[in-house]
Amino acid sequence: MLTTTELTRGLKHYFGYDKFKPGQIETLTALARQQSTVAVLPTGTGKSLCYQLYGLLTKQLVLVVSPLISLMQDQVKELKFIGEHQAAALTSMLSGRDKSFVLRHLNEYHFIFISPEMALQPDIMQRFKALKLGLLVIDEAHCISQWGPDFRPDYLQLGKLRQALGQPLTLALTATATPQIKKDICQLLFTAAQPQLVQQSIDRPNIFLAVESTANSSEKNAVLLRLVQQLKTPGLIYFTSRKATEKFARLLTEKTGLSAAAYHADLNQQERFAVQQQFMLGNLDVVCATSAFGMGINQKDVRYVIHYHLPTDLESYLQEIGRAGRDGQQSIAILLYSPEDFERQRQLSFASLPALAELKNYQAATRQQRQILTENELTYQLIDFYAHQGLNIKQQQEMFAQRHQQKASQLRTLQTYLTLTTCRRKFLCQYFGETTEHLKHTAACCQPVGQTFDLRDLNLQCEHVERKASVVLPSYQQLLKKLFADQSNQL
């Protein structure tokens, strides 16, 4: 069994750290005891390090089920970066050629990342059954809960997957979990023996929480422009659409001279890497991103996260602001909103929920028609999924009505957070079922409605203005010199 000393030595050897972050060592010692674990660790506390280190030290195969392709690719990159080359991501994005390459070499890998829908394919499941699994990881485990913000129907099948694989040692990871979600994870994933629960507070004391209410979107734009010019960089601004990320990346560069980039799921690999690299090298002041997309390589010194559009709910909000201040330094999360945002968010939230008419449509459709419907629309995919689970229309109708109420209540909670006249931090902790007696609201904690905050007091005001956006592109001759060292000697 791995001892704490071995774990700490491994941490230094592979990652260069001397100390574990809260929650990591508890998770790792539980795994070392062969105890399946549910770990609730806030974003930014190095969730993935737990299974990375476990796999590196035990030299056993680690299978990681993850919902987001970009997350998987980032994980593979990080592992390769620290010298673990036997890592691959099995996703629908892989070409047939790449997929069969990975499948042919399965037993040579130490880490395999896979999407749930692929893990559940019978032929692939069969292949994993034949391998000796050291650890099964369910990343973003909250996707299993219908009450969670990112519910994914195929996550419901992961309990079956786990059984099919012979109930291997399992680690379920999530950053945010209300009491209800925790219950779902434990019940749906673990049938017999219940897992150990490792939990850290969701609170990130170094992130100041603020909300700016504006009368309309033009006022909101003005507030955004003012903020980005005052705040220390780098920063991250979240939008709900690709179009908005591009519009504001352009606008910010033009109006403020800040160096900005748009980051969204439609960028190709080369461009995505370019933005990550620009951010890492400190060439960027601000990234305008969509929330649907992971930020990739961990940037530790993000000073602010601004939401230009409302987040889906508090769970996602917490995830997204968690990208700020991973270095532990003072940072700030600012949520901007104007009254019309609520209607927009309401529409986005309910758009994917089937209405009675759609349920009836599905019921009346022939098999072929159903195929067409499910090919094109998320709503029908959802209905189709539950139909295959054996739920009839009436049962579905009840379930979706429940979901609707759930979403409406999440929106109300969000609205409450926005209009809070008391401590925002306390509210968040309470919402996630944590005790709040130890929390003391101060001027450095958060800004309830009606109060102001001073960036200088928070040490977040940028003192001297240094603009990074360069107007002139370097010439190819200059670039060649920088790209390739000692070029003259080689020629």
Partner 1 sequence: MADQRLLYFFSAKQPRRPAVIRQILINKRTVSNLFWGLNYQLLSWLAVAPKLEAAYFNQQIELLLQTKALQQTTAGLVLTAAGSQQWQLYQTSDLHYWRQAPQLVQHYQVGAWQAMLALLIQVFSEMSYHNVHYYVNVTDPQLQYWLKRWLQHNPRQQLQAQFVRTLTEFLTTQESPAANIFLNMYSGHQIAGRTLLQLQQQTGWTVAELNCLRTDLSLQLAEKLLREGPAWQALIGLFRKNSLLSASTAITYQAFLNQYPLAKIAQKRQLKLSTIQEHLLEAAIFATDFPYLKILPTKIQQQLITLFRGQTIPAEWNYQVAQQQEISFFYFRLFQIQQLKLRQGRLSIANHN
> Rounded CA gap, 452 and 482, in Å?
47
Q: DSSP letters along 18-81, please? A: SSPPTTHHHHHHHHHTT--EEEE--TTS-HHHHHHHHHHHHT-EEEEE-S-HHHHHHHHHHHHH
The three-state secondary structure class of 255 is: helix
- Give 242 or 424: the residue with its C-beta nearer to Zn ion: 424
How wide is the angle at C-alpha 366 spanned by C-alphas 361 and 369, nearest 5°?
75
Of 36, 170, 253, 396, which lies in the binding site for partner 1, with binding defined by CB under 8 A?
Answer: 253
Contact letters for Zn ion, residues 427-466 (x by CB under 5 A): --------------x---xx--------------------
The single-letter code of the amino acid at 426 is: K
- Give 175 or 420: the residue with its C-beta nearer to Zn ion: 420
Output DSSP code: residue 421. Answer: S
Q: Does 175 bind partner 1 (CB under 8 A)?
A: no
Q: Are 174 and 142 in contact (CB under 8 A)?
A: yes
Q: Does 442 bind partner 1 (CB under 8 A)?
A: no
Q: Are 235 and 265 in contact (CB under 8 A)?
A: no
- Long-range contact pairs involving 77-86 (C-beta distance under 8 Å, separation at least 24): 77/297, 78/48, 78/52, 78/297, 79/52, 79/111, 82/14, 82/15, 82/52, 83/14, 84/52, 84/56, 84/110, 84/111, 86/110, 86/111
Q: Does 425 bind Zn ion (CB under 5 A)?
A: yes
Tokens read off for 405: 């109420």
Binding partner of 479, given Zn ion, partner 1, none, CB within 5-8 angstroms per partner class: partner 1
Q: How many residues bind partner 1 (CB under 8 A)?
A: 51
Alpha-carbon distance values, 297 to 71, 77, 285, 359 (Å): 9, 9, 16, 42
Judged by CB under 8 A, the stretch of 164-172, 221-229, 351-359, 478-486 that binds partner 1 is 478-486
Binding partner of 227, given Zn ion, partner 1, none, CB within 5-8 angstroms per partner class: none
Q: Does 207 bind Zn ion (CB under 5 A)?
A: no
Binding partner of 274, given Zn ion, partner 1, none, CB within 5-8 angstroms per partner class: partner 1
Q: Does 473 bind partner 1 (CB under 8 A)?
A: yes
Q: Are 302 and 286 in contact (CB under 8 A)?
A: no
Of 98, 358, 377, 384, which lies in the binding site for partner 1, with binding defined by CB under 8 A?
Answer: 98
Contact letters for partner 1, residues 269-298 (x by CB under 8 A): xxx-xxxxxx-xx-x-------------x-
Q: How far is the CB of 450 from Zn ion (least distance, A)?
A: 13
Q: How far is the CB of 66 from partner 1 (least distance, A)?
A: 14
Q: Does 243 bind partner 1 (CB under 8 A)?
A: no
- Give 215 or 485: the residue with its C-beta nearer to partner 1: 485
Residue 474, classified by CB atoms within 10 Å of its CB into exposed (0-12), middle (13-18) or buried (19+), is exposed
Q: Does 250 bind partner 1 (CB under 8 A)?
A: yes
Q: Are 71 and 139 in contact (CB under 8 A)?
A: yes
Closest CA to 373 of 385, 384, 389: 384
**Residues forming a β-bridge with 326:** none
Q: How far is the CB of 74 from partner 1 (least distance, A)?
A: 9
Of 125, 267, 399, 462, which lies in the binding site for partner 1, with binding defined by CB under 8 A?
Answer: 267
Alpha-carbon distance values, 58 to 28, 54, 106, 146 (Å): 12, 6, 18, 35
Binding partner of 425, given partner 1, Zn ion, none, CB within 5-8 angstroms per partner class: Zn ion
Of 30, 50, 89, 138, which lies in the binding site for partner 1, with binding defined by CB under 8 A?
Answer: 89
Binding partner of 275, given Zn ion, partner 1, none, CB within 5-8 angstroms per partner class: partner 1
- Give 80 or 441: the residue with its C-beta nearer to Zn ion: 441
- The contact set with Zn ion (CB under 5 A) reads 423, 425, 441, 445-446
- The contact set with partner 1 (CB under 8 A) reads 73, 76-78, 80-81, 88-89, 94-95, 97-98, 101-102, 246, 249-250, 253-254, 261-262, 267, 269-271, 273-278, 280-281, 283, 297, 471-476, 479-480, 482-487, 490-491
